[in-house]
Amino acid sequence: MSAPLLAVEGLDVTFPVMPRGAWPWTRPAGLQAVSKADLTLERGETLGLVGESGSGKSTLARAVIGTVPATDGRVMWKGRDITALGPASRRKLGREVQMVFQDPLAALNPRMNVGQIVAEPLATHTDLSAKERRTRVSEMMERVGLLPNLVNRYPHEFSGGQCQRIGIARALVTEPELLICDEPVSALDVSVQAQVVNLLAGLQRDMGLSMLFIAHDLSVVRHISTRIAVMYLGRIVETAPAEALVTDPRHPYTKALIASVPIPDPVRERARSRPVLEGELPSPLNPPSGCVFRTRCPIARPDCAEARPPLVQEVPGHRVACPYHDRGGPV
Amino acid sequence: MRTATLTDASALATAPKGRSLLADARRRFFRNRAAVGGVVVLALIAAFALVGPWIAPWDYEEIDWAVLGSVETMGRPSLETGHWFGTDQLGRDLFARTVQGTQISLMVGIVGALIAVVVGTLYGAVAGYFGGRVDGAMMRVVDVLMSIPYMFVLILLLVVFGRSILMLFVGIGLISWLDMARIARGQTLALRGKEFVEAAIATGVHPFRIILRHIVPNLLGVIIVYATLLVPSMIIYESFISFLGLGVQEPLTSWGALINDGAAEMRNGTSWQLLFPLGFFVAGLFAFFFIGDGLRDALDPKDR
Ligand SMILES: Nc1ncnc2c1ncn2[C@@H]1O[C@H](COP(=O)(O)OP(=O)(O)OP(=O)(O)O)[C@@H](O)[C@H]1O
Ligand code: SF4
Ligand SMILES: [Mg+2]
């Protein structure tokens, strides 16, 4: 069996943060944005990564593309540990792994026109002549649904949806193998969201892309993912095939997430019971001991404060980080 | 779905020519009366400095012996004698000398500001982009250099390497890049967190290319504004040094040197010796100030 395309193994990302008003010589506190995360992504697969705001999804993605350093653990790309690479070989990976960002306009340099923006990865990784680059850029723009004669325009002249298309064109112009989409539609109008998601799904099919698709709720992710991982306060709490995760959620947090997705039918919507999550996301500076979800968990028990529950495979392909989820209510 | 996306893009297709932010800024700049006035005044001053030597009837170092000794009466501004701006205390033609001083002052200002801006921007952008220990070390150097009184350094340079205009440029430029470096670093730190820079890093663009293509162009607004405001302060520095007798050497002169000469003779009833150079000095500084102000408004993307 060959190594998976991407494997994240025990990844930790800790940011040093200074408490407010601290003396310059105090040791900075560690903010654990990602803690012992394990993920694998096979070729051609779309892995959805879901969690509320601040759960560390973007940080995990950044650790994969190398814009934040991993504090511990490894990121394996085709079986090779890329966290240990030197800067030059690390840069070469930009051709194979690309990212689409959350804020479409902020991800485009305001001083470059669209042609220059989309051509940049080509200029970085290929020896194509300027003319060949222009051809490739026009092709790519057409594929993402932009007219190629817009190459002389600047980002501020476009709508959010169009900016996101430009970002997608830039990410795909070197034909990468993995595309990381960090909440690519959450900043867009609802009417445009579906267009962009469909575009991504279509491009993935046509180009044989693998995708890591990040979102803060399940409604977008469930349609285009083959598998879904749920993240809470820097920890991965459940991973399963998309279908299984939605129909048979096991972790109490996943159950709450699914309950928060509205059902289109208003009668059933009103009739169902909704275990709404109470309380706030705890501070990642001072996470609860043991299971980090216990402060909001409807079935928490005293043992939950003892040790961090490991991510255990219960059914092939379905892993859950809660030993008590099938034991009913609190004891 | 494909068709839907194409129609939504074709809405923009009517005007395929792109308007860059700079093109927009240019349009906004030329709508600003004060700034355009500044440009006109500056152009006139520059024309005066360039064309002046060709039309002046006297040379800037030539002494009019007929005037010497009775400058208060004979040296008055007059069309007949050809001393349009009068003469200085030594009987030299003030028009020619003002032309010469304008050349020097503009040159010192512009070249000094240019050195400061280029050195300071690159230094600050590199420090801010790499951050961490590189940043710490580079900015400590700036702090140390800043703590040395600039006049002391400049005087030392002029004494050690001899007085020359080149030394003056180098000296003033080398001191004043420090502020620019701090400004550029601060802005770079902010830019570094932007997603388009992150996208470039993730793409694998070389750091120096990121600095030149992504950081510096986005500093341009700040740089241009700072540079136009730096020119007058360079001119003022130069005047100050001339006052200490370390600036331009006689018979060369500058606005600052002329003003000081004129001010020294003010009580002798030769006010033109002060007023002409002072007029140019003030007009020049105001022009730069208005241009800088106009540029700042034009380049500020917030009130587009
Ligand atoms: N550079 C940084 N320095 C310090 N803390 C950071 C940094 N980046 C992120 N964090 C913190 O790490 C935690 C996780 O942030 P992250 O951006 O990964 O969340 P997210 O799941 O992507 O949220 P969102 O849905 O809002 O994008 C947050 O508490 C955030 O404040
Ligand atoms: S381990 Fe305990 S607190 Fe955590 S999810 Fe399971 S029951 Fe809830
Ligand atoms: Mg995020």
pLDDT tens track for A206-226: 998 999 999 988 888 888 899
Question: For B286, what's the count of Cα atoms within 13 Å in the CB-facing half-sphere?
Answer: 13
Ligand nearest to the backbone CA of A323: 2
A181 vs A163: CA distance, rounded Å: 14
The pairing of strands A46-50 and A227-232 is parallel
Put simply, whether B218 touches A (Cβ < 8 Å) is yes
Q: 3.30.70.1290, 3.40.640.10, 1.10.3720.10, 2.40.30.10: which CATH number matches B39-49+90-298?
A: 1.10.3720.10
Is the pLDDT score of B11 beyond 70?
no
* Residue with tokens 């008003």, as numbered in its chain: A21
Q: Which of A322, A326, A327, A331 to mutate for ligand 2's pocket (most ligand atoms within 8 Å of CB)?
A: A322
Indicate the pLDDT class of residue A273, thresholds 50, 70 and 90. low
Q: Quote the minimal CA–CA distance from A94 to chain B in Å.
A: 4
| Interior/surface letters B46-69, b for 16+ CB within 10 angstroms, e for the rest | bebbeebeeebebebeebbeebee
In chain A, what percentage of residues exceed pLDDT 90?
54
| Residue A56 Cα to ligand 1 middle (Å) | 5
- pLDDT on residue B301: 54
A45 vs A209: CA distance, rounded Å: 8
Greatest mean pLDDT range, A204-208, B239-243, B267-271: A204-208
Is the pLDDT score of B13 beyond 50?
no
Q: Is the CB of A231 under 6 A from ligand 1?
A: no
| Residue A101 Cα to ligand 1 middle (Å) | 14
Q: Is the CB of A35 under 6 A from ligand 1?
A: no
Q: Is the CB of A161 under 6 A from ligand 1?
A: no
| Residue A233 Cα to ligand 1 middle (Å) | 10
pLDDT tens digits, one per residue of A39-82:
999 998 999 999 988 899 999 999 999 999 999 999 999 989 99
- pLDDT on residue B141: 92
Indicate the pLDDT class of residue A326, thresholds 50, 70 and 90. confident
- pLDDT on residue B19: 59
CATH architecture of A6-16+30-253: 3-Layer(aba) Sandwich (3.40)
Ligand 2 neighbours (beta carbon < 6 A): A 252, 291, 293-294, 297, 299-300, 304, 309, 322, 324-325
Q: Is the distance from CB of B96 to CB of B56 less than 8 angstroms?
A: yes
Of the candidates B23, B221, B11, the residue with the CA atom closest to the CA atom of residue A113: B23
Which residue's C-alpha comes closest to atom 7 of ligand 2? A300
Q: Quote the minimal CA–CA distance from B182 to chain A in Å.
A: 21
**Which residues lie below 8 Å from residue B212, measured CB to CB, with a gap of 6+?**
none
Chosen from A64, A111, A140 to mutate, greatest number of chain B CBs within 10 A: A111
Q: Are the beta carbons of B9 and A145 separated by less than 8 Å?
A: yes
The partner residues of A16 in beta bridges, in order of sequence, read A30
| Residue A255 Cα to ligand 2 middle (Å) | 12
Ligand nearest to the backbone CA of A14: 1
Average confidence score pLDDT of chain A: 88
The partner residues of B93 in beta bridges, in order of sequence, read B87
Put simply, whether A96 touches B (Cβ < 8 Å) is no
Q: Which contacts of B135-138 are long-range, i.e. CB under 8 A and separated by 24 or more positions? A: B135/B185
Of all atoms in ligand 1, which is nearest to the CA of residue A216? 25
Of the candidates A99, A147, A152, which has its C-beta nearest B199's C-beta? A99
Q: Is the distance from CB of B261 to CB of B273 less than 8 angstroms?
A: yes
Is the pLDDT score of B89 beyond 80?
no
The pairing of strands A29-41 and A178-182 is unpaired
Q: Is the CB of A59 under 6 A from ligand 1?
A: yes
pLDDT tens digits, one per residue of B156-178:
877 787 777 777 777 777 778 88
Q: What are phi and psi of B56, to 5 degrees?
A: -70, 130
Question: For A11, what's the count of Cα atoms within 13 Å in the CB-facing half-sphere?
Answer: 32
Q: Is the CB of A133 under 6 A from ligand 1?
A: no
Average confidence score pLDDT of chain B: 80
Indicate the pLDDT class of residue B34, thresholds 50, 70 and 90. confident
Q: With contacts defined as CB-CB under 8 Å, which chain B residues touch A90?
A: 204
* Residue with tokens 């407010």, as numbered in its chain: A20
The pairing of strands A318-320 and A235-241 is antiparallel
Q: DSSP secondary-structure letter at A157?
A: G
Q: DSSP secondary-structure letter at A304?
A: G
- pLDDT on residue A263: 63
Of the candidates A135, A180, A187, the residue with the CA atom closest to the CA atom of residue A163: A187
Residues 137-166 of chain A with CB under 8 A from chain B are 145-147, 149-154, 156-158, 161-162, 165
Angle (CA) A52 A54 A55, round 5°:
65
Q: Are the beta carbons of B204 and A124 separated by less than 8 Å?
A: yes
Of all atoms in ligand 2, which is nearest to the CA of residue A309? 1
Q: Is the CB of A234 under 6 A from ligand 1?
A: no
Q: With contacts defined as CB-CB under 8 Å, which chain B residues touch A66?
A: 201-202
A242 vs A227: CA distance, rounded Å: 5
Is the pLDDT score of A272 beyond 70?
no
Is the pLDDT score of B3 beyond 50?
no
Q: Is the distance from CB of B201 to CB of A67 less than 8 angstroms?
A: yes
* Stronger pLDDT, B120 or B146, i.e. the higher one: B120
pLDDT tens digits, one per residue of B56-68:
777 777 776 766 6
- ipTM of the complex in this document: 0.88
Three-state secondary structure call for residue A241? strand
| Residue A103 Cα to ligand 1 middle (Å) | 15
**Which residues lie below 8 Å from residue A284, measured CB to CB, with a gap of 6+?**
A31, A32, A33, A54, A56, A233, A234
* Stronger pLDDT, B273 or B290, i.e. the higher one: B290
- pLDDT on residue B8: 44
* Residue with tokens 């009668």, as numbered in its chain: A267
Instruction: Map out the domains of chain A as residue ranges.
Output: 6-16+30-253
Indicate the pLDDT class of residue B16, thresholds 50, 70 and 90. very low
Is the pLDDT score of B9 beyond 60?
no
Residues 171-230 of chain A with CB under 8 A from chain B are 195, 198-199, 202
Dihedral in degrees, nearest 10, Cα atoms B33, B34, B40, B41 = 160
B60 vs B175: CA distance, rounded Å: 31
B111 vs A111: CA distance, rounded Å: 26
* Stronger pLDDT, A119 or B2, i.e. the higher one: A119
- DSSP string covering A244-261, please? HHHHS--SHHHHHHHHTS
Q: Are the beta carbons of A67 and B201 separated by less than 8 Å?
A: yes
